[in-house]
């Protein structure tokens, strides 16, 4: 069962035992081999993925799958559930249906953000388990907004094989953060959606790799400010197609990012809001 399908059929809650506080951060430099992300527009959402990924969209969310079948990103929204709910309970309820092997290894409380009926209470979790027999790691950000006996819940998660986790966590958050509501009147039956956001650039290994590669401190600071995970939204001037380009692919000699489809040409900065 996928996360978005589970949220569409959600009916009951299960408590999750407390997890140790604090999320682990890898400070070791990582090999910078991050993919270019291609932007896609669905009926309800917009998202960016590496080339060749499979995509599924409903009014409740988006599931994005890598060709290996183990790496994926998912975002889902449940509107108008009955009762009280916490992020911890919602995570436990979801994992029981989606992947019962997943166990929380770390968590942290994020700051409350403006919500729908009340502020979003948002928490971030790291989990470990198996998926189709493969050891995997997962990161999940869960937000709950509740009042008057009803609640809204949103979850964004990304997963990859444990063996690839140090590298994959340098760019999977950018895919997760790219998922945005573009048709709010038809999303989960809502006409007003303000989803909580998490700052994905909490990876000192990635930052250290940028420094070793010579990326300026100004560019690193920009990545922190813009919550982009070090990706820059660019546009093909001929076709209008959008790409999220890793900072480290900037060609200083050419003075820009090379077009993935026509490497002799440069992309241009995408207009604000696109």
pLDDT of 14 higher than 50: no
C-alpha distances out from residue 274 to 39, 46, 50, 181, 203, Å: 10, 10, 18, 13, 26
Res 113: pLDDT: 78
Residues whose CB falls within 8 Å of the CB of residue 125, separated by 6 or more in sequence, listed in order: 19, 91, 104, 106, 107, 139, 140, 141, 142
CA gap 235, 245 in Å, rounded: 10
State the pLDDT confidence band at 23, using cuts at 50, 70 and 90.
Answer: low
How many other β-carbons are positioned within 10 Å of the β-carbon of residue 86?
Answer: 18
Question: Which residues face 147 on adjacent strands?
Answer: 150
Tokens at residue 37, please?
Answer: 């992300």
- Ranges 60-74, 76-90, 212-226, 239-253: which has the least confidence: 212-226
Tokens at residue 27, please?
Answer: 């400070």
Which of the listed ranges 3-7, 103-107, 111-115 does the model predict with the highest average pLDDT?
103-107
Q: Tell me the pLDDT tens digit for each residue of 205-263.
A: 555 655 655 655 665 555 554 555 778 888 999 999 999 888 888 887 888 899 988 99
Would residue 95 be called left, alpha or beta, if left means φ above 0 and alpha means ψ between -120 and 50 degrees?
alpha
Cβ proximity of 89 and 13 under 8 Å: yes
CA gap 70, 121 in Å, rounded: 29
pLDDT of 89 higher than 70: yes
Q: Which helix (H) or strand (E) holds 103?
A: strand 103-109
| Burial of 100 from C-beta contacts in 10 A (0-12 / 13-18 / 19+) | exposed
State the pLDDT confidence band at 201, using cuts at 50, 70 and 90.
Answer: very low
CA gap 183, 42 in Å, rounded: 9
Res 272: pLDDT: 74
Res 21: pLDDT: 42
Res 71: pLDDT: 96
- Ranges 47-56, 85-94, 141-150: which has the least confidence: 141-150
pLDDT of 69 higher than 60: yes
Question: Which residues face 100 on adjacent strands?
Answer: none
Give percent of the chain with pLDDT exceeding 70: 70
If we measure between CA atoms, which residue out of 199, 190, 194 comes closest to residue 7?
A: 190
CA gap 259, 267 in Å, rounded: 5
List, in order of start, the domains of the chain with CATH numbers: 1-12+25-274 (3.40.1000.10)
Q: Tell me the pLDDT tens digit for each residue of 127-169.
A: 999 999 999 999 999 988 887 888 888 889 999 999 999 889 8
If we measure between CA atoms, which residue out of 141, 171, 170 comes closest to residue 76?
A: 141
CA gap 115, 42 in Å, rounded: 24
State the pLDDT confidence band at 12, using cuts at 50, 70 and 90.
Answer: very low
| Burial of 78 from C-beta contacts in 10 A (0-12 / 13-18 / 19+) | buried
Average pLDDT along the chain = 78
Q: Which pTM was predicted?
A: 0.72
pLDDT of 47 higher than 70: yes
């Amino acid at each position: 069962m996928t996360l978005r399908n589970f949220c569409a059929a959600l009916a009951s809650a299960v408590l999750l035992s407390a997890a140790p506080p604090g999320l682990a951060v890898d400070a070791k430099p990582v090999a910078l081999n991050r993919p270019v992300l291609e932007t896609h527009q669905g009926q309800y959402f917009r998202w960016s993925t590496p080339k060749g990924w499979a995509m599924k969209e409903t009014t409740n969310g988006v599931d994005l799958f890598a060709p290996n079948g183990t790496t994926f990103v998912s975002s889902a929204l449940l509107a108008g559930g009955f009762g009280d709910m916490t992020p911890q309970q919602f995570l436990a309820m979801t994992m029981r249906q989606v992947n019962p092997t997943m166990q929380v290894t770390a968590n942290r409380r994020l700051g409350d953000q403006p919500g729908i009926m009340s502020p979003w209470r948002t928490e971030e979790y790291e989990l470990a388990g198996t998926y189709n027999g493969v050891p995997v790691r997962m990161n999940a950000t869960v937000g709950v907004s509740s009042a008057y006996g009803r609640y809204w819940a949103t979850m964004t998660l990304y997963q990859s094989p444990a063996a690839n986790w140090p590298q994959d966590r340098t760019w999977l958050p950018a895919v997760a953060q790219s998922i945005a509501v573009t048709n709010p009147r038809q999303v989960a039956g809502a006409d007003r959606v303000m989803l909580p956001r998490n700052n994905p650039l909490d990876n000192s290994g990635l930052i250290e790799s940028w420094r070793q590669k010579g990326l300026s401190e100004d560019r690193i600071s920009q990545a922190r400010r813009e919550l982009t995970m070090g990706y820059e939204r660019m546009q093909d001037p001929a076709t209008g197609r959008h790409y999220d380009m890793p900072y480290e692919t900037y060609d200083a000699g050419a003075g820009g990012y090379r077009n993935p489809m026509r490497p002799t040409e440069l992309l241009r900065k995408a207009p604000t809001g696109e």
